[in-house]
Structures are given as C-alpha cells and as structure tokens.
Chain A
Amino acid sequence: MEKKRLLLTIVTPEKTVLSDKPVDFVTIPAAGGEMGVLPGHAPQVAQLREGMMHYRDGHHKEVFAVLNGFAEIYRDKVLVLAEAAELAKEVSEERARQALQKAKDTLAMRGADLDLDEANAALRRAAVRLKVAEFRKKHKL
C-alpha cells in the first residue's frame, strides 16, 4: 500500500507559494504552540502566529517563515493562509535590519513630500522580516 501523504498548500495574498505539494510531515506555528501534522490528522482550523513552518518531503526538509494567518487541516490536506510566507533561507537578517533602519529614518524625517503610507508599510515589512531572521538565528536553522 502506498504511504499516505499530506497535500500542503500555502497561499498568501500576493502569490501562491505552494500548491498541493505532497509532503510527509508539517509543523505549524499555531496560536497555542507548535503543532505537528501527520497524515490522518483530525480536521482542524488553527490560527497562526508568526513563526517557522517546517515540512518534510522524504529526506528533503524545508523551512518557511510565515506571518499571521490561518491553517486548515481537512482530509490530509493542509491549507495555510498566511499574510506572508517566505523560504527562511531567503530572509537575510542584515538586509532586514537595514531596511528597518531606513524605514525608521524616513518616518523620522517627515519631509514635505513624505509618503507616509509607503513608509509605514515598509516599516512593518522590515519589522516582520527581522523577527523572522532573529527567530531563525535563535533556533540555528
């Protein structure tokens, strides 16, 4: 008999990161703590906080950084709706820190033609990135 597998889908508003990818094991950063999902999991809806999501596909492991969102597990399908999801190795701590600093500076200057919304958005993005990067460092991923 073929081994049961999970189908993992990750979608964010800006793009579909993974679509029905067969994997063996997923951990999700649920609101109440890390949650491991194996094939045959009970149907569940969980809220996510920002953190790392792992999945294993055979011997291949991958780590994603996800931001606030939701996960739905139903009949061996794992659906993750996140506000942002990135491959953890693509997040660079140094760059995140620089971006954060830059965004703060722009906000602090408050020039005449300051684009407040853009700066606010940049600030948030950078803060989240940095969090992810620090998290990764802490857990030595």
Chain B
Amino acid sequence: MAEHALEPEAMEPEATRRSFVNWLLGTSAGAFLVAVFYPVGRYLVPPKAGESAAASVTLPVKPADVRPNTGQIFKFGNRPGILVRTPAGELRAFSAVCTHLNCTVQYRADIGHIWCACHNGHFDLSGQNIAGPPPRPLDSFVVNVRGTQIVVSKSA
C-alpha cells in the first residue's frame, strides 16, 4: 500500500515532462509541415506580378565605348531605354518608348537627335518632342558613371 500510495506522487513529475516533450514535438512537427508545404503552395500559386519595378540598371557597356553622337537601346525591366552620348560628350538616357503609339525610338546620327520610325516622330537630346505626332516628351532617366560602369536610374 505504501508503494501504491507513493505512486501518484512519483508519477507526477514524469507526466509533466512527458506532456511537455509531447507538446514540443507536436508543435515542431506542425512547424515542419508548414515550412515544407507553405513554400510549395506559394510556388504553385505565385503572387500576381506587376510591371517591372526596376528602379535602376547597370548597363553592359563601358562609358569609353559609347562614342559621341551615338545612341543605343538598353533593357530597363521589360521596356527599352535609350542611352545617348551627345556630340558634346554628355551621356543622357530616356525611355525609348515613343509617347505616340509605344514604338521603340532610335538615335539618328545624321540628324543628331532621337527619332521614331513608326510615324516619323522627333525628339531632341533633352527628350522633348519637336516634330511629328508624339504628344509629349520622352520620360528621362538619370545617368551616373561609376568608374567603368554606367548606371541608369529612374528620375526621383
């Protein structure tokens, strides 16, 4: 009887430890399952992606390789940009999307400014629409030269 009388008291601390370990393992298993299946769920049903939020881009060209009175198209997110080195040697960048019907503009060395082939729209080296149907200027970007890199950023 003495043994039986002692048994509940002897069991008490062991039951507490067991329940604690069980609780710990149970929650760990739950966390494990969430950690496994949540990424799977997000992978299979990804969030909606909007337009590229790229705020700046480093161009794959060195400043020294861009000759005066030339321009080249670069990728800015999904959209084209145009980098121009003016005859005076200044680097400028604009969105290359024509403000008329979204064609890609280009630099024409023969006339010394930016031109859209679709409807003969002209933009000067400040991006201003100067002839043809484009209704407003090209969006301008900020150009920074960092050593041998050209970094183009959206205007603040």
**Is chain B a partner of chain A in the same complex?**
no
Chain B residues with CB under 8 Å of chain A are none
Chain A residues with CB under 8 Å of chain B are none
